[in-house]
Structure 1
């Protein structure tokens, strides 16, 4: 089976490539903006494409030509102050991938959506795939995930013969994503060990985060590919993560703090360029529903092998040790390297990535 993967150098892409290579029966075309500077015999064929560029369509058509399936994982998280760029990657990139698939008659598309596409929860009850997909308006990530799903809706209505599946996982973690998450979330001059030196965690009691391991997401993708499954699938370990659980995993004391106060502090420090996380992420963490993954269990035979607490602890451990992978996205983070980038390219929340 020939499979083209966009965003192949990221956390889920790396896990999926590991899973597919272990099976040893697939021809993989790995699409990424920054491709590895090495080649592995019998490994994926890497293709460099920047999905934010409007005229990348020709390269995309070449990349997916002959593919039996396309797995669309590419997304942007930084620079958080350049929302138009993030929209160009996530929404514009999705449109360009769909256009390429239609032009080259690709028979199957697996799109990585998110719990962030769902409308705010009403209570703590898990929701299934019928929950409204209208997002959390104050989160640009959520708005863009909703917009991408609308593009899939339009594609399904106008293009015949393509099996389209959309996966809606919770927050995805794994140890090797530690350095990447540090770049997204930690001020440049703070060392990785600062993750393990948090004495108090001021967070609202309403914070609740569905989590799932990258390897479990990769397993779900493979099952969708094998079964040519269509429609939406929630993917999450059974128990959402609360603020108290995060504090416990950090060895910190949880301080129940009103959301308006935490949001005001996040907004002030984000606008002052002191930290790179936009306050919309807090809104999303407090509004996103718990996920019912029954459909994935019943139709795909999928169940998470790793529970949410283990995913959380593994991910935080990876952050605390600046764990890394072999791709540019997952490269090791150091304070010296961050300082060099800060001087040469500016803050991660503002810079236009090369």
Structure 2
């Protein structure tokens, strides 16, 4: 089986490469804007350096997809949050280029990285299935883009019924190697990451809406492999238990839950983002407060998927990675102290939420 992974050098791509390397019957082709050094999970691959948002991307992607049995599209930009045009270019227009190239090349299987962010606001005390309304959370550009991409897939499924399309919708995705990347993208240069090496979070914001699901990147990679091998179509929710909330995190990491109104959380994010103190805008907080909890029954029944790492230990591993500046040698996951989101970058005038880390 020849599998082309678009966006192969990021958090999920790294984990998927590790998993597929152990499958002797799978030939892997990697696509990324900037190809990583051929070490670790990035070794022994046929790499194509392609910017999916560029004008020539459909032609170049079609050439890379020639003869492939499946395409896995993981390409997505979280940052720079202060450049919405760049995010739309990569996330929406870039996904469209991937889809057009897959159709042109006659690829029989397309597996798309979607997210819990595709869903409309939903319950925090119950679990929604894959049929929940997919209009996203309006205030979040990430959520809007995920919804737009899935609408494109709906049209493609209607126009090309022989193309097998699978959509995976995970919650938050954690692994140790993503510690530096996630800290840069979601926390910024003022996070006292070294304090996390003691495994403590002194104060945990508590709000009824802050109940979220997470999953380890290796378990997500297992879900992708199952989707490639199984004769399935459609969407699958991917998350591990237990649900993460302030009480649980406080117990696990010796912290004190502090009740905070949702409007205050949003206002604090908006102000500090506008001041370029951290890279997360109000939309991310709104998404965290409004995204529903997901039932993963379909993944268990049809993919045989069950997480090996629970959400608390996945989060603990991430915190260890943040404290230790864990990283890989790919551009998105690098440990360059001068990048936006790092303190060295701040000293060089590279402010959080700016620049292109991909």
- Name the structure 1 match of 2:137: 136
- Name the structure 2 match of 1:19: 19
CA root-mean-square deviation: 2.1
Comparing 254-263 with 34-43, greater Cα deviation is found at 34-43
* SS at 2:331 equivalent: coil
Indicate how the Cα distance of structure 1 residues 285 and 189 shifts in structure 2: closer, same or farther if over 3 A, else same.
closer
Q: Distance in 1 between matches of 2:85 and 2:251?
A: 37
- Name the structure 2 match of 1:160: 161
Question: TM (normalized to structure 1)?
Answer: 0.94
1:194 CA displacement? 4.3
Q: Say whether 1:350 aligns with 2:354.
A: yes
Question: TM (normalized to structure 2)?
Answer: 0.93
Q: Is the 8 A contact 2:236 2:298 kept in 1?
A: yes
Q: Is the 8 A contact 1:205 1:256 kept in 2?
A: no
1:81 CA displacement? 1.2
Q: Is the 8 A contact 2:276 2:352 kept in 1?
A: no
Q: Distance in 2 between matches of 1:121 and 1:76?
A: 25
- Name the structure 2 match of 1:72: 73
Deviation by residue 1:213-263 (Cα, 9 ceiling, x = unmatched): 111111111111111321000111132111333344443322011011111
* SS at 1:168 equivalent: strand
Q: Is the 8 A contact 2:10 2:332 kept in 1?
A: yes
Indicate how the Cα distance of structure 1 residues 340 and 334 shifts in structure 2: closer, same or farther if over 3 A, else same.
closer
1:39 CA displacement? 6.3
Q: Is the 8 A contact 1:203 1:262 kept in 2?
A: no
1:353 CA displacement? 4.5
- Name the structure 2 match of 1:266: 269
Q: Distance in 1 between matches of 2:83 and 2:246?
A: 28
Q: Is the 8 A contact 2:80 2:355 kept in 1?
A: yes
Q: Say whether 1:179 aligns with 2:193.
A: no
> Which of 308, 313, 327 is 1:310 aligned to?
313
User: How do residues 261-340 of structure 1 correspond to structure 2 at under 5 angstroms?
Assistant: 261-332=264-335, 334=337, 338-340=342-344
* SS at 2:241 equivalent: coil
1:103 CA displacement? 0.5
Deviation by residue 1:4-24 (Cα, 9 ceiling, x = unmatched): 001100111111111111112
- Name the structure 2 match of 1:115: 116
Q: Distance in 2 between matches of 1:335 and 1:59?
A: 32
Deviation by residue 1:253-282 (Cα, 9 ceiling, x = unmatched): 220110111111111111111111112111
* SS at 1:121 equivalent: coil
5+ residue gaps, structure 2, are none
* SS at 1:51 equivalent: coil
Q: Is the 8 A contact 2:215 2:239 kept in 1?
A: yes
- Name the structure 1 match of 2:6: 6
User: How do residues 191-210 of structure 1 correspond to structure 2 at under 5 angstroms?
Assistant: 192-195=193-196, 199-210=202-213
Q: Distance in 1 between matches of 2:328 and 2:39?
A: 15
Q: Distance in 1 between matches of 2:18 and 2:93?
A: 28
